[in-house]
Structure 1
């Protein structure tokens, strides 16, 4: 008996540059899910309740990007402990009985991307930035960092937020002023969570024999900091690694079959090369 067509999509605002359709469609091709479709929709917080309310049995799930990761929570039937820990949902699965279940695959995606590059445990780490991605980075570090995490931020309010996240996640967090961000570059693991261009001035401050840099950006790539890090012989983990690993987990949850990592990464690399 032929399986009914299934739908999935990524929602956010802005959404036109999202690579999620490329990755998920590549997964469907590899898995032979010919009746599955994956689209993108421009949806802001005001429009989200109506969109979610109209999901019918053809929908397998949703990927969510900013600014919807927190706004979607009240619209769901349940949320995983992982998503609740950072109050952010990037994955919604519609179950067979019509329930909407939220999860966060960014956190295990960060861990998986680091594991792929041979980073299993670190004695300390530094985070550049204090936005939503920084809280997910802290949650990931709760799983792999055995010591203190230093967060470099621009304001006292952001510093307090990062300390509160640390207390909530069980991570020892020390905060430092952004003016001293070059000090972060000596950490065994540096996670840069800032917008494009923010860390460019740090490129000339990369030390000899640096540790691991995880820069969450993927376009443009490499960033000035990542390029300098690579020249100095440090290990790099990029935003595409995170995007692919979290999407692999989403595909698994929505289809019930493991996401094909190699096919999804290759599709993402091709799409970025064409931009």
Structure 2
């Protein structure tokens, strides 16, 4: 007997917490369906999608690194905001059997910042480390909230690619990744009425990867540290931020936010977000 299912694909993918999140919501709602993790490499993408296209039980997939950009040429249609940012994290099949890509990353990223974003600010600035698919979605979402952006990447051309998909009126700067690694004696001005973010949108700090070298003298007082890495949840980046007196947001906040939007697309129901505290406890147990 088969049942409807969705999944997360990527390489690696075994560490993904998405199956726990979606499985919890399916159980809470009594939906007879499954959500799983499937390792798919970039050379395997075409065959994977061809097989899923003909599988009547398949409801779609979330896409994680390194496939968020690579998957686009294999899709029939890409809708906003993925068509603008050039990065897809969710694929579904429409009524005509077409594979449709979109992105819920930006909305998921902004979700834990709702309280801050409801307050008017004289100026908003975000320092974003990374230039991959997630960084593209995050940069676009923040640009639409009137942030000035500083994009740091290993290769300047990657950062320039991120900048190229931003709204034309976005104030932005591009710096090399090591710009933030050494201490600075820069004297920040009064940050009253300002909102500052420091975002790790790269794989640095993930289990098995090198840590992110960020010296917190580069962050003004009151800046919020936000790390989208989910394994481990409490990264060195966040630990050092707390030591320097900064508020922190871990990657689980974004993961649950973007998963909620994807869940609706896959299973046609709103995720039971009233159980977020219980869900977070389950994931971090």
| TM-score (norm: length of structure 1) | 0.84
Most deviating of 152-161 and 133-142: 152-161
2:93 and 2:99 in contact (8 A); partners too: yes
The verdict on how the C-alpha distance between 1:37 and 1:21 changes in structure 2, with shifts beyond 3 A counting, is same
Secondary structure of the residue aligned to 1:113 is: helix
Q: 1:221 aligns with which of 195, 217, 233?
A: 233
Secondary structure of the residue aligned to 2:5 is: strand
For structure 1, the residue ranges without an aligned partner over 5 or more in a row are none
**C-alpha separation in 2, matches of 1:211 and 1:62:** 34
| Cα shift at 1:201 | 4.9
| Cα shift at 1:239 | 0.6
Count of aligned pairs: 265
Secondary structure of the residue aligned to 1:47 is: helix
Secondary structure of the residue aligned to 1:118 is: helix
**C-alpha separation in 1, matches of 2:35 and 2:263:** 11
Per-residue CA distance 1:187-245 (angstroms, 9 max, x = gap): 71221223115335525x37674222211112223222312333444332211111110
The verdict on how the C-alpha distance between 1:27 and 1:152 changes in structure 2, with shifts beyond 3 A counting, is same
Aligned to 2:191: none
2:112 and 2:254 in contact (8 A); partners too: yes
1:154 and 1:178 in contact (8 A); partners too: yes
**C-alpha separation in 2, matches of 1:107 and 1:265:** 22
The verdict on how the C-alpha distance between 1:49 and 1:169 changes in structure 2, with shifts beyond 3 A counting, is farther
The verdict on how the C-alpha distance between 1:175 and 1:216 changes in structure 2, with shifts beyond 3 A counting, is same
**C-alpha separation in 1, matches of 2:251 and 2:15:** 14
For structure 2, the residue ranges without an aligned partner over 5 or more in a row are 189-194
Matched, 1:31 2:43: no
Per-residue CA distance 1:94-152 (angstroms, 9 max, x = gap): 2344232211011111122321x5334662221123333221221111221x2421122
**C-alpha separation in 1, matches of 2:51 and 2:222:** 50
Aligned to 2:51: 54
2:77 and 2:101 in contact (8 A); partners too: yes
| TM-score (norm: length of structure 2) | 0.81
Secondary structure of the residue aligned to 1:152 is: strand
Secondary structure of the residue aligned to 1:46 is: helix
| Cα shift at 1:172 | 2.0
Larger helix share, 1 or 2: 1
CA RMSD of aligned residues (A): 2.7
**C-alpha separation in 2, matches of 1:262 and 1:239:** 19
Aligned to 1:5: 3
Matched, 1:138 2:139: yes
| Cα shift at 1:261 | 2.5
